[in-house]
Structure 1
Amino acid sequence: MSAPETDLPPLFPFAAIAGQPALRQALLLAAVDPRIGGVLVEGPRGTAKSTAARALAELMPAAPFVTLPLGASLEHVAGTLDLQQALAGHAVRFAPGLLARADGGVLYVDEINLLPDALVDVLLDAAASGVNVVERDGISHRHAARFVLVGTMNPEEGALRPQLLDRLGLAVRLANVADLAERQAIVRARLQFEADPAAFRARHAAEQAALAERLGAARARVQAPDALPWSDAVLQAAGALCVQAQVDGLRADLVLLRAARAWAAWQGDAQVTPVHVQAVAELALVHRRKPGVPPPDPVPASPPAADPPHPPRAPGADGAGPPEADWGAMPPEPIGTVRLAVPELLTSSAPATPKKA
């Protein structure tokens, strides 16, 4: 029997999480549109992975938070059919698993890289489709499983196969906080929360409520029909980034477009633009990029002021002018030369070079 809600320990508010902007962005995107396929969080211990996942569920109305234990079986996760009851009562009796319990909430999988591949396949199928299908001895049962999958792993303990990595929607690679002031701010906030959780949560209540309201509005906008259209320029921007990353298949393009639409909904914009694609590109491509391919240079928020353009030079106007396509180039100019005296020691020691006929 589960403990009453009043007996649960207080949660660290999502609004108070500091020092991990990429993690916050990825979790919010997956919550806006769970069809993105979940979030993989890679990083060392103590980088707020589980804290952020639990805090995300609190922003979603009546959202359960379900943790998948490391030793769970396939029946425990997906559910099972009671064939004896089905044969005796001429009805299918389904015993739901963790996927059914996580419907509408967050399914947290710690050390996802240590799970059997077959179990990870079931998780990823349900996370991408929103439906869990259980088939056994010719009997099939389907139920809704719309949840935000958050998987964490420490790369030092092993890696996921590339086929499984590609099926996870977004990825965040965390690092230890090296900035001293930022570390102090994070530790101070944690100590304040542990000293008086109620007072700490009260200080962030307004911001927490604003985040929950904004998340609910963004989720409604994404689910609305014909909402947030994108142009061919958006498709071209997404495709160019995927080609540059040398990804396999087209799943990266689809995830990138869904994430860009979710980011546009979160920003409250009327349509998806290439700017939204660029803002979420690294989250969708960091775990799909071919090894050795460098990430693209970040696009500046505002381009620097450029010098006023020079008028193009007509090709061949002065006999040495560059073609029109290279009008920014300057024509060569003659430069005077000065003959330097060479020390006699050097000239005498060098062998004479015979002249060619």
Structure 2
Amino acid sequence: MASTFPFAAIVGQDDMTLAIQVVAVDPSIGGVLVLGDRGTGKSTAVRALADLLPPIEVVSGCAYRCDPKRPAALCERCNPPEGQGRKARKNAVERRPVAVVDLPLGATEDRVVGALDLEKALSQGIKSFAPGLLAQAHRGFLYIDEVNLLDDHLVDLLIDVAASGENLVEREGLSLRHPARFVLVGSGNPEEGELRPQLLDRFGLAVQVRTPQDLALRVEVVRRRDAFERDPDAFRAQWQDANLALQQRIVKARKRLAAVQVSDALLTLCARLCQQLGTDGLRAELTLLRATRALAALLGHREVLPAHLRTLAPLALRHRLRRNPLDDADAGVRVERSLQEVLAA
């Protein structure tokens, strides 16, 4: 298995690394979309996400990584129906790394949702389900590189599962459902195609990355990448302490998240900003609430401040704006302009 570039060693692209850390603190924000130039470290940063995620408790042997602390969300194997040994079973618990699952562009629907296990069916005559990528990503992250090029039928499937939190399989004589709650993470180059609005809305934060123009920064990026490719193990060992420090920071932020206060005045600022920008629905306000609270926890603050809103509003709103034929400004510029007006009022 190939080594991943250490997250702590990523230099530059501050918005991207911040967005990934914020979502690692609170996955309910809804995921991260990273769009920008080729060769700017988009895939590198997302694949390094595993460095930030502490192991989780799962039911031992469960293909769906069920949470033993949530009995109501257990699959049928971990929580059989009445009369099938539910009371007699006591699930063992083990710790596993949080899954960061890649969904290739060329993946078939069977590979994504799961299908009949042909090997067992042919060799043993047993009708068994072979879980797909959605099952592997449960309680983890599903990563799609070049997400804007994903086939429409897979986009429809992802939208349905992301909305329900369950994967329903009806095929080849199989009829079952299993939990599939994951954080969607995507990257791509907007010049190669746009995302459908329904899928775009499922991403909590969107980051625009560009090729760095600072000469010293470019040299440092190349130096670190070259050192990693020459000796991945030595390079990862060099950054191990920094990665562990980042992981511990995420763990502490998760623990203090519930205690972070959000005032009515701050919520009013969020609502006024979204209203002024004309965002559809209320998902934008909810995303701002969760993201600013996660940022406050990450920074060790007890209350969400306007400074947190200023930092995250462009990431939470730029991809939710309608095109305005009378205003050709970049979406990020429009957010910044409205933000200044709202905070100054």
TM-score over 0.5 (shorter chain): yes
Does the residue aligned with 1:136 lie in a helix, a strand or coil? Answer: strand
In the other structure, the counterpart of 1:38 is 31
Please tell me whether the aligned partners of residues 106 and 147 of structure 1 are also in contact (alpha carbons under 8 angstroms): yes
Does the residue aligned with 1:263 lie in a helix, a strand or coil? Answer: helix
Matches within 5 A, 1:161-180: 161-180=196-215
1:296 maps to 2:340: no
1:141 maps to 2:176: yes
- Cα separation, 1, equivalents of 2:294 and 2:183: 14
1:272 to 304, 307, 310: 304
Answer with 1 or 2: which has the greater Rg.
1
1:257 to 277, 289, 304: 289
Provide closer, same or farther for how the CA distance between residues 125 and 228 of structure 1 changes in structure 2, counting only shifts above 3 A: farther
Provide closer, same or farther for how the CA distance between residues 118 and 277 of structure 1 changes in structure 2, counting only shifts above 3 A: farther
Provide closer, same or farther for how the CA distance between residues 229 and 93 of structure 1 changes in structure 2, counting only shifts above 3 A: farther
Matches within 5 A, 1:2-13: 8-13=1-6
- Cα separation, 1, equivalents of 2:155 and 2:29: 16
Question: 1:10-56: CA deviations, max 9, x gaps?
Answer: 22110010111010011112222222111111112111111111111
Please tell me whether the aligned partners of residues 24 and 52 of structure 2 are also in contact (alpha carbons under 8 angstroms): no
- Cα separation, 1, equivalents of 2:31 and 2:103: 14
Higher relative contact order (CA 8 A, sep 6+): 2
Does the residue aligned with 1:247 lie in a helix, a strand or coil? Answer: coil
Please tell me whether the aligned partners of residues 7 and 243 of structure 2 are also in contact (alpha carbons under 8 angstroms): yes
- Cα separation, 1, equivalents of 2:128 and 2:262: 44
Give the paired residue count: 286
Please tell me whether the aligned partners of residues 44 and 174 of structure 1 are also in contact (alpha carbons under 8 angstroms): yes
1:132 maps to 2:125: no
Structure-1-length-normalised TM-score: 0.72
1:209 maps to 2:244: yes
Matches within 5 A, 1:1-357: 8-60=1-53, 61=55, 62-80=97-115, 93-127=128-162, 131-136=165-170, 141-222=176-257, 224=258, 227-292=259-324, 294-297=334-337
Please tell me whether the aligned partners of residues 133 and 140 of structure 1 are also in contact (alpha carbons under 8 angstroms): no
The Cα RMSD (Å) is 2.9
- Cα separation, 2, equivalents of 1:126 and 1:23: 26
- Cα separation, 2, equivalents of 1:103 and 1:253: 26
- Cα separation, 1, equivalents of 2:127 and 2:256: 37
Question: 1:225-263: CA deviations, max 9, x gaps?
Answer: xx3232211211111221222211111111111111211
Residue type of the partner of 1:31?
A
Please tell me whether the aligned partners of residues 66 and 106 of structure 1 are also in contact (alpha carbons under 8 angstroms): yes
Structure-2-length-normalised TM-score: 0.74
Taking every aligned residue pair, what percent have the same amino acid on both sides? 53
Please tell me whether the aligned partners of residues 278 and 321 of structure 2 are also in contact (alpha carbons under 8 angstroms): yes
Q: Offset of 1:125 from its aligned partner?
A: 4.6
Q: Offset of 1:217 from its aligned partner?
A: 2.2
Quick check: 227-236 or 193-202, which moved more?
193-202
Structure 2: 5+ residue stretches without partners: 56-96, 328-333
Does the residue aligned with 2:40 lie in a helix, a strand or coil? Answer: coil
Provide closer, same or farther for how the CA distance between residues 134 and 299 of structure 1 changes in structure 2, counting only shifts above 3 A: closer
Residue type of the partner of 1:263?
L
Please tell me whether the aligned partners of residues 218 and 262 of structure 1 are also in contact (alpha carbons under 8 angstroms): yes
Does the residue aligned with 1:171 lie in a helix, a strand or coil? Answer: strand
Q: Offset of 1:140 from its aligned partner?
A: 5.7
Please tell me whether the aligned partners of residues 166 and 181 of structure 2 are also in contact (alpha carbons under 8 angstroms): no
Provide closer, same or farther for how the CA distance between residues 249 and 118 of structure 1 changes in structure 2, counting only shifts above 3 A: farther
Please tell me whether the aligned partners of residues 42 and 171 of structure 1 are also in contact (alpha carbons under 8 angstroms): yes
Residue type of the partner of 1:211?
L
Does the residue aligned with 1:271 lie in a helix, a strand or coil? Answer: coil
In the other structure, the counterpart of 2:77 is none
